[in-house]
């Protein structure tokens, strides 16, 4: 994954700095833009449908690292689907968003997962399944258990949110960051018994990418 120069210091020495691209995918009107807007501005308002893609940058100063998040909000309308892969092809993480009050959008999230599975190697990208609009509890068509079960079988992070009532929006992005950082740690050089570092060559440098574009 993309590690840039060390920046800042902590009690344990210089803090590493990472840049991650996170892409929001899902059917039209599930609330992708609203989630991004809530996360970036802590606000909720009626937004126009996304045209193509919009892009935000958020910097997080965490204890263990500085993380620069590039958040790519894609358009859910069918007419933009053919260009979507251009937006997610070098992503480090994807949020597959559906509307808990619209079962069809849950089906579409599953199709998005198939698409990502074709284009990325296993574990190459962190994927979170996000059931949005929990404030519409009375209209719910997808149970929490259905979402959880699907995420569990596919090894995805899972969370239900409401961009409107600000339910777990920050938590979704934070759990994605934590998972990305956990994977960074896993790949970090491990000290050998003699005290010398061993480097996992398969995990260092540029990521191996799948063949499709
Ligand atoms: N009740 C409720 N409505 C929401 C929530 N999030 C978004 N909405 C509404 O759902 C509609 C679509 O929201 P957007 O954020 O534009 O959805 P989108 O997925 O970005 O849509 P596209 O840009 O067309 O792909 C808007 O009317 C929002 O106000 C939520 O958490 N609860």
- Which atom belonging to ligand 1 lies closest to the Cα atom of 34? 15
Reduced DSSP (H G I as helix, E B as strand, rest coil) percent helix, strand, coil of the chain, to 5: 35, 25, 35
- Which atom belonging to ligand 1 lies closest to the Cα atom of 36? 15
The mean per-residue pLDDT over the stretch 60-69 comes to 94
Q: What is the dihedral of CA 75, 78, 82, 84, to 10 degrees?
A: 20
* ipTM of this complex prediction, to 2 decimal places: 0.99
- 204 has pLDDT over 70: no
pLDDT for 69-105, tens place per residue?
A: 999 998 888 777 777 677 888 999 999 999 999 999 9
**pLDDT at residue 85, rounded to an integer:** 74
Instruction: Report the alpha-carbon distance of residue 33 to residue 49 in Å, rounded.
Output: 8
Span from the CA of 29 to the centroid of ligand 1 (angstroms): 5
The protein residue with its alpha carbon nearest to ligand 1, atom 12, reads 29
- 194 has pLDDT over 80: no
């Amino acid at each position: 994954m993309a590690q840039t120069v060390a920046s800042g210091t902590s009690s344990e020495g210089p803090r590493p700095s990472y840049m991650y691209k996170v892409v929001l995918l899902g059917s039209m009107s599930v609330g992708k833009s609203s989630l991004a807007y809530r996360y970036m501005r802590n606000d909720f308002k009626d937004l126009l449908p996304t045209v193509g893609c919009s892009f935000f940058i958020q910097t997080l100063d965490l204890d263990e690292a500085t993380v620069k998040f590039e958040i790519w909000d894609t358009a859910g309308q069918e007419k933009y689907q053919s260009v979507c892969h251009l937006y997610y092809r070098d992503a480090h993480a994807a949020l597959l968003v559906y509307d808990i009050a619209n079962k069809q959008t849950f089906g579409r999230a599953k199709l998005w997962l198939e698409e990502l599975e074709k284009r990325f190697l296993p574990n190459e990208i962190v994927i979170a399944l996000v059931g949005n609009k929990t404030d519409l509890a009375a209209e719910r068509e997808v149970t929490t258990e259905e979402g959880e079960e699907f995420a569990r079988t596919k090894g995805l992070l899972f969370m239900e949110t409401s961009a409107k009532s600000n339910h777990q929006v920050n938590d979704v992005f934070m759990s994605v960051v934590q998972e990305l950082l956990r994977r960074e740690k896993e790949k970090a050089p491990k000290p050998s018994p003699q005290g010398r570092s061993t480097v996992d060559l398969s995990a260092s440098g540029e990521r191996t990418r799948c063949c499709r574009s």
